[in-house]
Structure 1
Amino acid sequence: MGRGAKTLLSPSAVIDRLRSVLTGSGDHSIAQRMAGAAFIIRVMSAAIAYVSQVLMARWMGGSEFGIYVSVWVWVLLLGHFSNLGLASAAQRFIPEYAGRGDEDGLRGFLKGARLIGMASGTVIAALGLTGLWLAGPSIGTGLGVPLALAAICLPLYVLTDIQDGIARSQNWTDLALGPPYLIRPVILLAGMAAGHMLGLAANATTAMAAAVIATWAAGMIQFWLLGRRLKGRVAAGPRRYEGRFWLATSVPIFLVEAFYLALTYTDIILLKQFRPAEEVAIYWAAVKTLALVAFIYFSVAAAAAHRFSEYHTAGDRQKLSEFLSASIRWTFYPSLAATIVVLALGKPFLMLFGPDFVAGYPAMFVVSIGLLARAAVGPVERLLSMSGQQRLCALIYATAFATAVILCVLLIPPFGMMGAASATAIALTLESVLLFWVTRTRLGLTVSPFARRSPAAAE
């Protein structure tokens, strides 16, 4: 090993590197702290959610828990869709307005984006409730009331999503992720525990009622805290609303996220159509056990999007390239390590849900292939969305989503949850290959976790 390598791996070099990450004022150090904070919050959230889901599965039984899972997936899908891409667009517009010193536009976006999101969520909720009323008895047994409660969650779910994007653009990871990923699940768990002790029916309706309370409470707490912090960053003054411009930019980003989320939950939704609720619950537990791997990708993406926007807007190609390479390394290597650990401990984790849930263990290996493929290209879809390539990015996700749907329809009937897992892994791998190709050909940037690290990237 060369002399330079020894120096790089010396204890003093490791200590200096750690000090740089923890106290440095450079963009890479700040982004790493944001990613680290996001990961810690998501791991804490996962622990709370895991305890909640284990208890709920045992209290409710496989069938009712499967109904709750299916309904909550619809909240996640419609909630993210209803923000019209403004949650991610916040990480593009806010740095742009701030960089130009356009405080009127900044103040307008901070208020206008949330108003548009709330209005969109309310309209979607109203349409959903109307559809349920018209469908009447044709809705499956035990689904009507949980779905109605899911609709009530939407307005505040959307508000929380957009406030998440606003807080990330200010490097406030705690405020972005704390309310939806810590406060909401804690209130949900407390609500279910209270219902259990009071002797309420342990079913999907009770669970969704607790989810409504948790979603609204978390959203309002975040709204109040965000308002207090923004007062210290953005001076009071007139607002300029550019709704058409915001939506013209955010809608293609919305399509990216819509297909991304649809791809994420297609396997659960279609598995519910072809297989019993008990199998859905087992597969859900297996996928959620792998959440630690997905959290790493999420955490880096949470820290990266507004940096991509800043560098692209400034025309600083060198910093953009260095930051992309760094974000891919931060995603891939921790994801690989987490996958090994989670798969090694998969059976004991699944046993917590009950003996029957161990049947989902083989599916974990298959899904992990797709997650590692995604980790190998890092948050490049955020780069594409922040650099004007959002339409092409949406096309990639539409292709991956269509692939997942077709494969799920073909593979779930004969193979059940293993068919769902295989369809997901293939679609994620295809998505990653296409993102790699577009980033190389359109932007001319290196997309690899093995790219050589620039000394400047450590600053």
Structure 2
Amino acid sequence: MRISAVKAADRFLPDKLSKQLRPWLVRLDQLFDGSMEHAAAQRVSLIAFSIRIISAAIALVSQVIFARWMGQFEYGIFVLVWVTVVILGNLSCLGFQTSVIRFVPEYLEHRQLDHLRGILFTSKIFALGLTTCIAFIGAAAVYFLRDAIESYYVAPFIIGFICLPMIALGDTLDGTARSRSWALVALTPTYIIRPILTLVIMTIAHVAGFAPTAVAAVISAIIATYMTSLVQLAIVNHRFREVVSPGPKAIRFGEWFAVSLPIFLVEGFFFLLTNADVLMVGRYMDPDKVATYFATVKLLALVHFVYFSVKAGAAQRYAELMHTHDHDQLSQFASDTARWTFWPSLAMAIILLILGKPLLLLFGAQFADGYPLLFILVIGVVARASVGPAESLLNMAGEQKICAMVYAVTLIVNICLSIVLIPAYGLAGAAFATAFSMVFEAVTLALTVYNRLNITMFVFAGRTGAAKEEV
């Protein structure tokens, strides 16, 4: 049983101090006991943020070790291959990993358990089946086009495709767990367990005398991904047996696919947008430059994690509020999520700019060349954080198509700028293209949410009248 923060303060602190802290302690109690209106979403966001911070620390340590062991060139090869494989694995779910977040609460609320069993079964089988086909096609394409590809990329790419089904399964299980606000089950496997296992396996290979090449790193990541996804599958299936007993499944693939496809376009364009800079650097520059840019972006992920954490807690709540048809409540929650995203992101951005150079030096002296890029990239990240998880709100409101168009245009802007700026200005050109694209994305999303939902989703928009009355 949890101890009340208010009672603990009354008991152990001086009366004056206890009274001064009471408003904050009341909010803390409401956050953890669920009495606060948005407590569940805040708890999930807080858990997700904590997991992401731990994950960032693990990723930083592991990537520093990888870079030190492998050298800048081999590390750059591994980075480009692994980023490509992760992108393909995520896209291969075709949006089912997010649409399941929308359908599970709906089916539970209306007690449509046969539909619930159907979506849980279909989402996993579809992801596994499609990615297996894509993996075979991708490996075959790389093999037959090997003469047109730099030789050092051929073997890592062919091997990397083996991992596609498990990456897709892991993403689907992430969404399935998030549909029930099981933040630990959703995020821990991918963001904590998998990178730790990858590092452990790579360490064992290194101690055993295997050369620290890109191929060795890819194989380590594949083994870790298979182990993690299969364990997560067992846990999610066990927990859902407590929610819905085994029984008949109603398969409504056409309906689910119709919803998932626009979401796929939204998240696909967003995922490509998030990683397009690394891919474009790999297209125009050597692996050592890819390594430097990726290390810089990896540090920037510390700021990105705030957005992803809020999104993890907000998506289900958006879906619930859409079903209640309470526009004022939805509008206020949307404004809240923008604030939850912006202020921590701004604080972490400032800290990152202060500590960025020493952190990059951990990778190696040559990686410090990426430090000036942080000042460019941070502008885009903070601008993006100012509108919170706006695309998630649009998805849950059934506005997937317009959201997909926003990301498509933003991706085109990013690629066009990269094509022009990277050959002329190198890594600085890639950073500017990315930062400008993120500012463009934030402005466009905010305008879209306002025009489509009549909601001002911006950190400085102020509180709604209903919310002011509550305060």
TM bucket, shorter chain:
over 0.9
Relative distance call for 1:200 and 1:456 in structure 2 (3 A) is farther
CA contact (8 A) 2:331 2:456 kept: yes
Q: Does residue 314 of structure 1 match 2:319?
A: no
Gap change, CA 1:310 and 1:456, over 3 Å in 2: farther
**Structure 2 residue matching 1:84: 3-state secondary structure:** coil
397-406 or 235-244: bigger deviation: 235-244
Q: 2:332–2:467: 8 Å Cα contact kept in structure 1?
A: no
Native 8 Å contact 1:28 1:458 kept in 2: no
Q: Cα offset for 1:318?
A: 2.0
Whether contact under 8 Å (1:323, 1:457) holds in the other structure is: no
Show structure 2 runs of 5+ residues with no match. 1-16
Q: Please point out which of 28, 42, 56 is paired with 1:46.
A: 56
2:10 corresponds to: none
2:351 aligned partner: 341
CA contact (8 A) 2:276 2:415 kept: yes
Q: Is 1:28–1:457's contact at 8 Å kept on the other side of the alignment?
A: no
User: Which residue of 134, 144, 150 maps to 1:134?
Assistant: 144
Q: Displacement, 1:75?
A: 1.2
Residues 295-334 of structure 1: pairs in structure 2 closer than 5 A: 295-334=305-344
Output aligned runs, 1:39-438, within 5 Å.
39-438=49-448
Residues 54 and 353 in structure 1, CA contact (< 8 A), matched pair in contact too: yes
Q: Deviations over 1:399-442 (max 9, x none)?
A: 10000000001000111111000000011111111111111111
The 10-residue stretch of structure 1 (143-152 or 60-69) with the greater mean CA deviation from structure 2: 143-152
| Large movers: runs of 4+ above 4 Å | 453-459
Deviations 1:114-148 (A, max 9, x none): 10111111111011111122223433122122111
Q: Please tell me the residue identity of whatever aligns with 1:116.
A: F
TM-score by length of 1: 0.96
Number of aligned residue pairs: give it. 454
SS in 1 for 2:93: coil
Task: Check 1:26–1:109 CA distance in 2 against 1; reply closer, same or farther (3 A cut).
Answer: farther
| Letter paired with 1:199 | G
Measure the CA separation in 2 of the matches of 1:70 and 1:456: 49
Distance in 2 between residues matched to 1:365 and 1:23, nearest whole Å = 40
Label 1:457 to 1:435 Cα distance change in 2 as closer, same or farther (>3 A). Answer: farther
For the residue of structure 1 that corresponds to 2:145, the secondary structure is helix
| CA shift in 2, pair 1:458/1:359, >3 Å | farther
Residues 322 and 457 in structure 1, CA contact (< 8 A), matched pair in contact too? no
1:245 maps to a residue whose letter is: E
Gaps of 5+ in 1: 1-6
3-state SS in 1 of match to 2:386: helix
Counterpart code for 1:190: V
Superposition deviation, residue 27 in structure 1:
4.4
Please tell me whether the aligned partners of residues 94 and 264 of structure 2 are also in contact (alpha carbons under 8 angstroms): yes
Give the letter for the 1:214 counterpart.
A
Q: How far does the alpha carbon of each residue in 1:195-232 deviate from its partner, in whole angstroms, 9 at most, with x for none?
A: 11111011100000001101111100100111111111
- Asked if structure 2 preserves the Cα contact closer than 8 Å seen for 1:85 and 1:250, the reply is yes
1:19–1:455 distance in 2 versus 1, CA, 3 Å: farther
Q: Is the 8 A contact 2:143 2:158 kept in 1?
A: no
User: Which amino acid is 2:259 matched to?
Assistant: T
